[in-house]
Amino acid sequence: MALSILGALAAWDLAHTPAVYTLLVVLVPLNVLLSTLRVERGARYRASYIWFVLLILEGIAIFLLSKTQNLDLSHWALKSPPNPLVGRVAFAAAFAALVWRAWPEYKPLPVGLSAALIAFFIAESWPASPGNYAAFMTAAGVILVAALLQESHQLAFRDPLTGLPGRRALEERLRALGGHYAIAMVDVDHFKKFNDTHGHDIGDQVLRLVGGRLSQAAKGGVAYRYGGEEFSVLFPGASVDDAARELEDIRNSIETYKMAVRSPDRPKKTDEGAKRRGEGGTEQMLSVTVSIGVAGPKEGATPQHVIKAADEALYRAKQGGRNRVSR
Ligand code: GH3
Ligand code: MG
Ligand code: MG
């Protein structure tokens, strides 16, 4: 998609004809529209060579058109410049698809693409004024690059399972921390057994749930997935007392939360399954508990020391019987 917009810039520079212009303003939004819909269907990686073929075909079409003179573009839907009706319709459809795709997560790539598409649309509305065209095309390019950088940053720093920032993000944050803060280490209790009993998929669901609770409930705290079934919560500017109070509420809300899941021994045969469902026996309410250790900086302690202290507190929470907050 980025290639398509950059290609459009090059093509317009090479061949300044109305036919090329018309083709570009239709093809670029159509490419965006197509790829937006395809990503939704999850065919992203396997189908990428199809994109190359498509873009090359489009390039050839543009090249051939640029050699063709006297093409009749007087039809009302194609009349250009300015932007012909088909181009506007394609733009509107592509933009709507992008917004639909971006909502409600506002990931950098779809948001950046929407913005770049708008910049492209503005650019293409001024084909006769090279200054404006170049300015908005450059803007489209810069937005795209920024969005790609942001997306790859998220890939490195965000945990895909829970959506929380990961350990690298925590380490980054610790470097810019003041002297007053608290760190909590959170570990799911008997999670190995939980996985063995209910399966890894339901285990993953539990991790998402715990991550969600941690990030919502922590007032002034930021939750990170430290690794595996361990989380950290960082409370910048908070005392250990304040953090411990906050964490006790979180611990309690996780303990009392009941998760409805289908039981793993669900019968394969549908008629038998229907009979069982009729009896209401296939759903199970599950819950987990967490142990939490919290610590704050002592004189001269680095964040790494504090994490270690929180880890030791977590160990005491486990020793003390789990499902509790220790310091
Ligand atoms: P304890 O109460 O002492 O913490 O017991 P535990 O079983 O939770 O402790 P342990 O650290 O031995 O087990 C952690 C388990 O967490 C091992 C692994 O099966 C599970 N686990 C780690 N990461 C993931 C994950 O991403 N998804 C799932 N489903 N399970 C995970
Ligand atoms: Mg563990
Ligand atoms: Mg554990």
**Residue 30, pLDDT score:** 80
Determine the distance separating the centroid of ligand 1 and the alpha carbon of 192, expressed in angstroms.
4
Q: Residue 242: which pLDDT band, with cuts at 50, 70 and 90?
A: very high
For the stretch 311-320, pLDDT in tens is: 999 999 999 9
Average pLDDT, rounded, for the chain: 80
What is the rounded CA–CA span in Å between residue 177 and residue 129?
A: 50
Residues 6+ apart with CB under 8 A from 116: 2, 5, 139, 140, 141, 143, 144, 147
Residue 256, class by beta-carbon neighbours within 10 Å (0-12 exposed, 13-18 middle, 19+ buried)?
exposed
Instruction: Return the higher-pLDDT residue of 83 and 200.
Output: 200
Task: Please tell me the residue having the least CA distance from ligand 1 atom 30.
Answer: 203
Domain C-terminal end among 157, 179, 203: 157
For the record, the structure tokens of 28 come out as: 């670029």
For the stretch 103-135, pLDDT in tens is: 776 777 778 888 888 888 887 777 667 777 778
For the record, the structure tokens of 101 come out as: 């795709």
Task: Yes or no: say if 117 and 2 are a contact pair by the CB < 8 Å rule.
Answer: no
Could you write out the DSSP letters of every residue in 186-208?
EEETTHHHHHHHH-HHHHHHHHH
Q: Is there a single domain that holds both residue 42 and residue 103?
A: yes
Domain C-terminal end among 115, 130, 157: 157
For the record, the structure tokens of 143 come out as: 């937005």
For the stretch 45-91, pLDDT in tens is: 556 677 777 777 877 877 777 776 655 555 554 555 566 677 788 88
Instruction: Return the higher-pLDDT residue of 290 and 22.
Output: 290
Instruction: Return the higher-pLDDT residue of 51 and 145.
Output: 145
Task: Choose, from 124, 229, 230, 246, the residue flagged as catalytic.
Answer: 229
Q: Is there a single domain that holds both residue 188 and residue 314?
A: yes
Is 162 part of any domain?
no
Catalytic-residue membership of 299: no
Atom of ligand 1 nearest to the CA of 189: 2
**Residue 305, pLDDT score:** 93
Nearest Cα to Cα of residue 150 among 113, 177, 95, 121:
113
Structural domain boundaries enclosing 89: 2-157
> Quick check: CB of 124 below 6 Å from ligand 1?
no
Q: Is there a single domain that holds both residue 192 and residue 233?
A: yes
The pick from 190, 192, 196 for probing ligand 1's pocket by mutation, whose C-beta has the most ligand atoms within 8 angstroms, reads 192
The number of distinct structural domains making up the chain is 2
Task: Yes or no: say if 110 and 102 are a contact pair by the CB < 8 Å rule.
Answer: yes
